[in-house]
A and B are shown apart, each in its own frame.
Chain A
């Protein structure tokens, strides 16, 4: 396999630097990589490990403040320092790329047909009209439904998965030697992820190209890659065949990464545990359109007749793909948006409660969001952020007492209490999520709704946050509703699982039963896609 003649891309001593106002940042610190013909090489690492910037450097796509040095030879031709004209002969023809963001990687102002034709016309000559036949073939090849009609669609008229198929069609247009796939499925739903990866694999067999897969998802690597290079902080810490890396990891970091897959289970609460939060026939409608001279408005039912009972100390996992209504359900249960149905908190019927009636209950019903970057005010210190709720719910608390509570809460989530005078931007994603959790638990809530709390985090950090959430639960007897599209996390966190699709419950049951013996075909697809990519 590692025959020297087979090596089509040789990277030696590659360095990428970014000059920032705070000085030079070394994103890639002189790495070596080889890509062999027809193989799949996975470059694995957490965000900030330099895996994407390595490829951007080779392809001449760095941001303006970035510089690349070292060597990257494609079939003997040095790419680093190549003048733009010569580099453009290779880019989009011999080496092509697909990106993480299928939503923004295509120009919104041109039809997909024209965008796929562009590299064909540019590299092979001819007119857009002549290229159209080839574009149709390509769309057929990547399995876009109704290609003859869709060829004149604009990107916003397609779903995320369909756009990624369009990107793949574009990448294949000139039958490349190497396809660089930069987190190609990260932004997609799990069932779509599996389809896209299957497509890439079958196209690879058909066209015999090499694939460089950049990803943070070890599940994908295991099933998809021939070889793996593990990157950390701009360096390659380990490189080898996939089976070897997974069975006998040598580097300490690789071992940690492999161990970081969330593990463990949660035991269900005792049968006599009281019901703490209940929703019956929960329904939420969103109104679309309307206005003075606009078209008549229409309603979209986001949640449709859902029943849910949360017991004290229980964790209910709600899984489903984007648009399934799982986040909306969480907000409806907290009475944060207009909804119909019957709601009960403890022994209180809260169905008819308005904002002011809910206010005294808010401290006991807390919410933690997905995005630890967007949900913390950048202009408040961490101490101010986590004690804000105390001003509302315990206004008589003295300043010293508030400070003491902040210290306790920060200690509980594993953060240095001295950091309470710092601002959110000084913290990593995982630390920010800990701050968000501290903000919730400082009020000593009974129920916490966790809306994708680990989705924006790297795997190894995910494991630590899950650990923390489980500890806090057993210590304070909390009840969780855990909303996630990530089934491995749900499996480790919850004792009861609800599967949602199009606003309805498809299947529900004890975690083990759902994962070991799913009944509904949709649940089977979801589990199959998540665990055997």
Chain B
């Protein structure tokens, strides 16, 4: 197990390097720059800014410079949020995004798996039809529609919950953004679970379990469920990485000070270092969660155990 983890962590280094390199150059090849504002700056000011941030150097030198700083944990200054460097910005915003993302992930997995299992056990019944219809809606309606509708109904019309902000950090403030963030993922988990559960219930070893008089609870929970969770667990990695690193749309709608909006704002403003920082953050989350999921997969399925 430990050699497996070490091997995987070692293979993360080239992956990260490739991600950093591609994003760095893609970003620079995009037209415009961080200081091309609507009202152009006087040429002398522009020149000064470029020199201060070393943007007047050749591209390869900037790249080497960025890389050598990045390995020491220095991701450079933000060109737009001038009071903070990139590490500080992410460090401040990440806890908010992660807390919201964690609850959303929990809701998506638990709700999705339960709904999918019920649908599979009552295949082609009204309940199955209802769960699948709702999950189609969940996948197709974007969260910039779901968010405002939730706000309208629960914050403005019913006035049960706050419309946005983090407030004192109590759970009340999290409920609406959590639902908006979780809904599409919940729908995916429900569909995945239903499909793999139906498949699992039709396997030969489930027939064996039934033939040996095991009560249906044991058949479903012990035998069918465990096998059916394998595809669900596979989807967990990209889903967790996406939810925990924040969502630009949901964080903007509910004015949550997370990191999700930095990616979009950084890209629009050509805030090179901020975009790079966000890309590295997401890449690390994807790598770490893929590793965790592979370990979990091995625990669930002895056939792929990593000894």
Residues of A within 8 A of B (CB): 59-61, 63-64, 84-85, 87-93, 96-97, 99, 101, 104-110, 118-119, 122-123, 154, 156, 167, 170, 292-293
- Complex contact B210–A293 (CB within 8 A): no
CA distance in complex: A87, B204 (Å): 19
Which stretch of B68-76, B126-134, B257-265, B295-303 is in the interface?
B295-303
Asked if B92 is at the interface of the complex by the 8 Å CB criterion, the answer is: no
- Complex contact B10–A61 (CB within 8 A): no
- Complex contact A92–B215 (CB within 8 A): no
Report 7 cross-chain contacts, Cβ distance below 8 Å, ordered by A residue.
A59-B211, A91-B210, A107-B208, A107-B223, A109-B223, A122-B213, A156-B303
Task: Indicate which residue in B204, B216, B223, B301 contacts A101 across the interface (CB closer than 8 Å).
Answer: B204
* Per-residue A-contact encoding for B203-244, CB less than 8 Å = 1, 0 else: 111011111111110100011001100000000000000000
**What chain A residues lie within 8 Å of B10 (beta carbons)?**
293
Give 7 nearest A-B pairs by CB, closest first.
Answer: A92-B212, A92-B213, A91-B213, A88-B213, A104-B204, A107-B205, A119-B212
Asked if B82 is at the interface of the complex by the 8 Å CB criterion, the answer is: no
- A158 CB to nearest chain B CB (Å): 12
Residues of B within 8 A of A (CB): 7, 10-11, 123, 202-205, 207-216, 218, 222-223, 226-227, 300-303
**What chain A residues lie within 8 Å of B11 (beta carbons)?**
292-293
CA distance in complex: A119, B210 (Å): 10
**What chain B residues lie within 8 Å of A122 (beta carbons)?**
212-215, 218
Given known A107-B227, A108-B301, contact A99–B212 (CB-CB < 8 A): no
CA distance in complex: A87, B7 (Å): 52
- B11 CB to nearest chain A CB (Å): 6
Knowing that A108-B205, A108-B301 are A-B contacts, what are 6 other residue pairs whose CB atoms are under 8 Å apart, sorted by A's residue number?
A91-B210, A97-B208, A107-B205, A110-B223, A122-B218, A156-B303
Task: Indicate which residue in B211, B214, B215 contacts A97 across the interface (CB closer than 8 Å).
Answer: B211
- Complex contact A154–B302 (CB within 8 A): yes
**What chain A residues lie within 8 Å of B211 (beta carbons)?**
59, 61, 91-92, 96-97
CA distance in complex: A118, B210 (Å): 11
- Complex contact B302–A156 (CB within 8 A): yes
**What chain B residues lie within 8 Å of A101 (beta carbons)?**
204
- Complex contact A109–B214 (CB within 8 A): no
CA distance in complex: A87, B203 (Å): 21
- Complex contact A106–B303 (CB within 8 A): no
**What chain A residues lie within 8 Å of B223 (beta carbons)?**
107, 109-110
Task: Indicate which residue in A63, A99, A123 contacts B204 across the interface (CB closer than 8 Å).
Answer: A99
CA distance in complex: A85, B303 (Å): 33
- Complex contact A293–B7 (CB within 8 A): yes
Given known A156-B302, A293-B10, A293-B11, contact A107–B209 (CB-CB < 8 A): yes
CA distance in complex: A457, B271 (Å): 69
- Complex contact A99–B301 (CB within 8 A): no
Given known A104-B203, A104-B205, contact A118–B212 (CB-CB < 8 A): yes
- A109 CB to nearest chain B CB (Å): 5
- B36 CB to nearest chain A CB (Å): 42
Task: Indicate which residue in B203, B214, B300 contacts A119 across the interface (CB closer than 8 Å).
Answer: B214
How many CB-defined contacts (below 8 Å) exist between A and B?
83
Which residue in chain A gives the minimum CB-CB distance to B226?
Answer: A109
CA distance in complex: A305, B164 (Å): 77
- Complex contact B303–A154 (CB within 8 A): yes
Task: Indicate which residue in B202, B204, B214, B226 contacts A118 across the interface (CB closer than 8 Å).
Answer: B214
CA distance in complex: A293, B205 (Å): 35
**What chain B residues lie within 8 Å of A93 (beta carbons)?**
213
CA distance in complex: A512, B154 (Å): 88
CA distance in complex: A97, B211 (Å): 7
CA distance in complex: A99, B204 (Å): 9
- A453 CB to nearest chain B CB (Å): 27
Which residue in chain B gives the minimum CB-CB distance to A294?
Answer: B7
- B60 CB to nearest chain A CB (Å): 28
- Complex contact A89–B227 (CB within 8 A): no
- Complex contact B212–A91 (CB within 8 A): yes
CA distance in complex: A167, B208 (Å): 9
- A115 CB to nearest chain B CB (Å): 8
Which residue in chain B gives the minimum CB-CB distance to A122?
Answer: B214
Which residue in chain A gives the minimum CB-CB distance to B208?
Answer: A105
**What chain A residues lie within 8 Å of B216 (beta carbons)?**
84
CA distance in complex: A68, B216 (Å): 20
**What chain B residues lie within 8 Å of A123 (beta carbons)?**
213
- Complex contact A109–B227 (CB within 8 A): yes
Task: Indicate which residue in A60, A154, A156, A170 contacts B212 across the interface (CB closer than 8 Å).
Answer: A170
Task: Indicate which residue in B203, B204, B212, B218 contacts A96 across the interface (CB closer than 8 Å).
Answer: B212
- A373 CB to nearest chain B CB (Å): 18
**What chain B residues lie within 8 Å of A167 (beta carbons)?**
208
**What chain B residues lie within 8 Å of A99 (beta carbons)?**
204, 207-208
- Complex contact B218–A106 (CB within 8 A): no
- Complex contact A119–B204 (CB within 8 A): no
CA distance in complex: A99, B11 (Å): 44
**What chain A residues lie within 8 Å of B203 (beta carbons)?**
104
CA distance in complex: A64, B10 (Å): 49
- Complex contact B218–A109 (CB within 8 A): no
CA distance in complex: A170, B209 (Å): 11
**What chain B residues lie within 8 Å of A85 (beta carbons)?**
215
CA distance in complex: A396, B192 (Å): 51
CA distance in complex: A106, B211 (Å): 12
CA distance in complex: A106, B227 (Å): 12
CA distance in complex: A144, B202 (Å): 29
Which residue in chain A gives the minimum CB-CB distance to B300?
Answer: A109
**What chain B residues lie within 8 Å of A108 (beta carbons)?**
205, 227, 301-303
- B306 CB to nearest chain A CB (Å): 11
CA distance in complex: A88, B213 (Å): 4
- B53 CB to nearest chain A CB (Å): 38
Given known A99-B207, A106-B205, A107-B223, contact A92–B214 (CB-CB < 8 A): yes
CA distance in complex: A122, B302 (Å): 24
- A389 CB to nearest chain B CB (Å): 37
CA distance in complex: A90, B7 (Å): 51
Which residue in chain B gives the minimum CB-CB distance to A104?
Answer: B204
Which residue in chain B gives the minimum CB-CB distance to A170?
Answer: B212
- Complex contact A109–B302 (CB within 8 A): yes
CA distance in complex: A110, B223 (Å): 9
CA distance in complex: A292, B205 (Å): 36
- B13 CB to nearest chain A CB (Å): 12
**What chain A residues lie within 8 Å of B205 (beta carbons)?**
104-108
**What chain B residues lie within 8 Å of A156 (beta carbons)?**
302-303
**What chain B residues lie within 8 Å of A119 (beta carbons)?**
212-214
- Complex contact B208–A90 (CB within 8 A): no
CA distance in complex: A89, B213 (Å): 6
- A214 CB to nearest chain B CB (Å): 14
- A399 CB to nearest chain B CB (Å): 44
CA distance in complex: A123, B212 (Å): 9
